[in-house]
Amino acid sequence: MAQDKTASADESEKCSALNGQANDSNNRNQWQRPPPSATFELKDGEKPPLHTVINSYDFEVIASRTLSKKTWAFYSSAATDCITREANRTAFDRIWWRPRVLRNVGSVDTRSRILGHNVSMPLFIAPAGLAGLVHPDGEGAMAAACAEKGIVQCVSSNASMDITEIVPAAPHGQPFFFQLYVNVDRAKTEALLKKVKSVGVRAIFLTVDTPRPGKREADERVMNDESLSSGMSGSSAKNDKRGGGLGRSVGSFIDPSLSWDDLKWLRSLTDLPIILKGIQGAADARLAMEYGVQGIVVSNHGGRNLDTAPAPILVLLELQRCCPEIFDHMEVYVDSGIRRGTDILKCLCLGATAVGMGRHFLYALNYGQEGVEHLIDSKFSRNIKSVYICGLKCSTKRRVVLKDELETTMRTAGISDLSQVHPGMLNTLEVDHLIPTTIDHPYAKWRPDPYAKWRMDSNASWRPKPRI
């Protein structure tokens, strides 16, 4: 009987502590206990248990410590000074919510549609090459995770696996999109389009922001294993005098002459929806609409190509200011910089249909299919052991990461389903001065300088044209 009273008192003390009720008993019995005699530490290269990972940043930190030096350099690198890579993320921090309260948010619904396909949330796995570098199941594990969690994967032209291996990894009927780099050998592109159509791909995401891969210095500094190649494109890793840039070597087949005129050629090869991936301003967004494509991805390739290109969330604001009509004619997606559920909902408030995330799904793949599922929406089993924090017993059963964050953001912002999003939910005053008001520069006007022209003389050397 005395033991029962002691146990009851201990439980009462713990409850009081959790409720923030400080008293002498709490201080004496709970908070003034000596520290534990040993602290659990991970060995070098060892991953912490998946249930301890609670956000996308955790996956990134773990990847930085456990992936091979070359794999980490390839995945994480960005162009030159990495200014755009960082701006992609921090631009979201400068857009504030205007929450509404006393709304019935007892139940929230994250379901949406992308190109007519039902999805559990407005998120897709953006194309990211060579997933096999982080896990042997590669893109196949991503495909299975997408099917399990009800979202769509966009397969890269530089995937580790062939599309004919990736699609069967998911149940029949699971939608897939395919990201296309046009090959300098156009016949290869034509054959590739026939292949992806034959396995059931539902849309073509044509990358238009990479006539040439950017200078990714972290990737260049680490030499390649030259036996590595893409199972999709067949491109091989190489080392040369410029360095060991894996992105540069496997992207060497990309045709830099691709132009707007080629969209007619592409349309003649496929009847699938065509999405232009890599739109970075209102001028090209309007052209995309005029050329009749079915959608655009506002993206700067994760900051991997042109450093100091604008952050996509700012480009989304530019589209709303300079060419709002495009949102009525095609679907608009955003990738680059998405980390949180708040980021997803901010994009939707500004007119996006859905968002893509690339790098962090590669980092999650560090744990295989289970890691990818965990990043999307994971419900833990009741059988997972409890842990002790500050001497208190805490269950590790919880629901994470992105879907939970999106649902929490919806509730705290005051909406119960995605049909209720609108720009008035956001305060963009902190960045409004950064948004162009015109397609052209508002005051600087380019004029040809007759003295800066060059001509070829009889000796085949370039000289400035003489004054007249």
* pLDDT attached to residue 231: 80
Let me know how many helices (H) and strands (E) the chain has, helices first.
18, 18
Distance CA 50, CA 339 (A): 18
**Residues with Cβ within 8 Å of residue 1, at least 6 apart in sequence:** none
Q: What's the pLDDT at 125? A: 98
In a domain, 458, yes or no: no
**Which of 27-31, 43-47, 135-139, 319-323 is least confident?**
27-31
Domain presence at residue 237: yes
- Indicate if 328 belongs to the active site: no
Q: Look at residue 333 and give its three-state secondary structure.
A: strand
pTM of the predicted model as reported, rounded to 2 decimal places: 0.85
* Separation CA 377–CA 399 (nearest Å): 7
Residue 27 located in a structural domain: no
Annotated active-site residue 181? The verdict is: yes
Domain count of the fold of the chain: 1
pLDDT at residue 43, rounded to an integer: 72
pLDDT tens, residue by residue, 394-439: 444 445 699 999 999 999 999 999 999 999 999 999 999 999 999 9
Active-site position among 75, 181, 363, 367:
181
Q: Please report, for the domain that includes residue 230, its CATH number.
A: 3.20.20.70
User: 197 near 266, Cβ under 8 Å?
Assistant: no
Q: What is the span of the domain harbouring residue 150?
A: 50-432
Is the pLDDT score of 5 beyond 50?
no
Q: What one-character DSSP code corresponds to residue 28?
A: I
E strand map for 238-385: 274-279, 295-298, 331-335, 354-357, 378-379
Say if strands 117-119 and 112-114 run parallel, antiparallel, or are unpaired. antiparallel
Read off the pLDDT of each residue in 438-467 and give the average, rounded to a whole number: 65
Q: Is 301 a catalytic residue?
A: yes
Query: Which residue did the predictor score with more confidence, 187 or 390?
Result: 187
Q: What is the pLDDT of residues 247-273, one digit of tens each?
A: 998 889 999 999 999 999 999 999 999
- Say if residues 352 and 121 touch (Cβ distance below 8 Å): no
Tokens of 264: 């007619």
Report yes or no on 14 lying in a domain: no
- Segment 209-258, tens digit of pLDDT: 999 999 999 999 999 888 887 888 888 888 999 999 999 988 899 999 99
Stretch 134-160: mean pLDDT: 97
Q: Per the domain annotation, does 440 fall within a domain?
A: no
Where are the extended beta strands (E) located within 120-187?
A: 123-125, 152-155, 176-180
H or E element in which residue 119 lies: strand 117-119
Whether residue 186 lies inside any domain: the answer is yes
From 58, 137, 209, 404, the catalytic residue: 209
Cα–Cα distance list, 60 to 129, 143, 366, 370 (Å): 17, 20, 10, 16
pLDDT at 17 over 50: no
Phi, psi (deg, nearest 5) at residue 283? -60, -45
> Quick check: is 460 in a domain?
no
Q: Which of 58, 137, 219, 301 is catalytic?
A: 301
Q: What is the pLDDT of residue 384?
A: 43
pLDDT band at 378 (very low <50, low <70, confident <90, very high): low
Q: Is residue 29 part of a domain?
A: no
Closest CA to 249 of 272, 225, 265, 267: 225
